[in-house]
């Protein structure tokens, strides 16, 4: 199967269909876990379950138990077809754990493997067990400029570490959440029913085609996380700090790892941080943290507005499409609920004012660094 065959098409159902009793049986059969507590976690097209095992049951399969519990991850049927991608996700977590980046750690199953492929609901899904990473999720804690700056710093450090990671499974990987797939949103835009919103969507897609696509060969590439958002960033209170002094402690969800462009990585992170703050200027604070340790060439700065707009459109269009297909899957509505359309209009329509251009992120970053 070619990578090109592994891109979402309208009408395809790829999310696992499984109930909690079946999850418990799966955990016991594959990992010898006696489940005491089971909680479903949020996810877009995978299913994730937090497991607390019965401490009274000895499990020789897992000699060193994780005191915080585990996550049983059942991958969607599309990604499960690409075994090399599954292996790359496991390897990248082990690679980062060995380099002082806190992230989930894969656990071997009864067969000694880091994953297995199981038939669930008539489809084949890759199943893995990961150690649960303790802490709070960024979306649940008070935000501050200092935290947004730190997000940029953490991401730059992550990308610098990943410069030394390569895996054949990522070289030709394609999926609809890659920014390079923005032109293919044409197939899903029918899910946007409002004419003004549709005009915005079409404007951004066309801009991506003429401003970004011809330049791709000039941009610096490497392995990126690809989805550095508020649901995937773990934080904790700084020791000795106040009750609002949070620091980033870890990173989750490597489902979107890809060999792609570093400017895409920072644009995606800026997009999600602006969404949770509601202020386009936040992008400049994130950029400040990132560029302290990772230089961004001037010609890549100039693409940021198009790339941020494109990520918003990607999330809004695929969110509307997914909800139409599966009304119970509310994961992607977070962008719409976080005023994604309003942010998109601010970025596209706001004119410079006496306080400056809120999308001149390079200037905002420089001012923040000077002020700090």
Q: Which residues belong to the active site? A: 227
Round to whole Å and give the CA distance between 161 and 155. Answer: 10
Adjacent-strand bridge partners of 128: 73
Round to whole Å and give the CA distance between 355 and 316. Answer: 29
Round to whole Å and give the CA distance between 93 and 85. Answer: 13
Round to whole Å and give the CA distance between 116 and 303. Answer: 41
**Contacts of 218 by beta carbon, 8 Å cutoff, 6+ apart:** 299
Round to whole Å and give the CA distance between 271 and 228. Answer: 9
Q: Map tokens 């005491």 to a residue.
A: 36
Q: Where are the beta strands (DSSP E) in the chain?
A: 35-41, 47-53, 70-74, 106-107, 116-120, 123-131, 136-137, 221-224, 233-237, 246-251, 258-261
The DSSP secondary-structure symbol of 352 reads P
CA-based R_g, the chain, Å: 21
With residue 300 as reference, give the H or E element that holds it: helix 298-301
Round to whole Å and give the CA distance between 173 and 187. Answer: 20
For residue 132, which phi and psi values (nearest 5 degrees)?
-75, 135
Round to whole Å and give the CA distance between 25 and 32. Answer: 9
Contact call for residues 54 and 24 (beta carbons, < 8 A)? no
Q: Map tokens 């509601």 to a residue.
A: 278
Q: In what order do the strands lie in the sheet with 233-237?
A: 136-137, 233-237, 246-251
């Amino acid at each position: 199967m070619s990578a090109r065959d592994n891109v979402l098409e309208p009408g395809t159902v790829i999310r696992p269909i499984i109930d909690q009793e079946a999850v418990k049986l799966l955990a016991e059969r594959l990992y010898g876990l006696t489940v005491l507590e089971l909680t479903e976690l949020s996810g877009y097209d995978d299913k994730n379950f937090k497991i607390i095992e019965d401490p009274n049951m000895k499990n020789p399969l897992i000699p060193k138990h994780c005191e915080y519990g585990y996550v049983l991850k059942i991958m969607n049927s599309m990604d499960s077809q690409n075994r090399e991608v599954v292996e790359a996700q496991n390897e990248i977590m082990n690679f980062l754990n060995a380099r002082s980046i806190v992230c989930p750690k894969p656990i071997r199953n009864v067969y000694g493997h880091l994953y297995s492929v199981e038939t669930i609901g008539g489809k084949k899904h890759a199943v893995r067990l990961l150690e649960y990473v303790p802490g709070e999720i960024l979306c649940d804690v008070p935000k501050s400029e200092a935290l947004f700056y730190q997000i940029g710093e953490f991401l730059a450090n992550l990308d610098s570490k990943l410069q030394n990671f390569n895996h054949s499974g990522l070289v030709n990987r394609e999926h609809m959440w890659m920014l390079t797939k923005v032109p293919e949103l044409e197939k899903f835009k029918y899910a946007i029913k409002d004419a003004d919103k549709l005009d915005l969507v079409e404007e951004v897609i066309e801009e991506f085609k003429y401003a970004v696509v011809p330049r791709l060969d000039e941009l610096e590439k490497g392995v990126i996380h690809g989805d550095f958002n508020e649901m995937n960033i773990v934080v904790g209170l700084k020791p000795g700090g106040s009750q609002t002094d949070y620091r980033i402690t870890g990173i989750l969800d490597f489902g979107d790892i890809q060999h792609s462009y570093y400017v895409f990585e920072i644009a995606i992170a800026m997009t999600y941080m602006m969404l949770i703050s509601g202020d386009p200027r936040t992008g400049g604070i994130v950029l400040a943290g990132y560029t302290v340790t990772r230089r961004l060439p001037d010609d890549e700065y100039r693409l940021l507005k198009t790339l941020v707009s494109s990520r918003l459109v990607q999330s809004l269009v695929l969110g509307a499409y997914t909800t139409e297909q599966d009304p119970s899957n509310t994961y992607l509505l977070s962008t719409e609920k976080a005023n994604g359309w309003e942010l998109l209009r601010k970025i596209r329509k706001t004119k410079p004012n006496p306080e400056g251009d809120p999308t001149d992120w390079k200037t905002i970053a420089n001012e923040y660094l000077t002020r700090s």
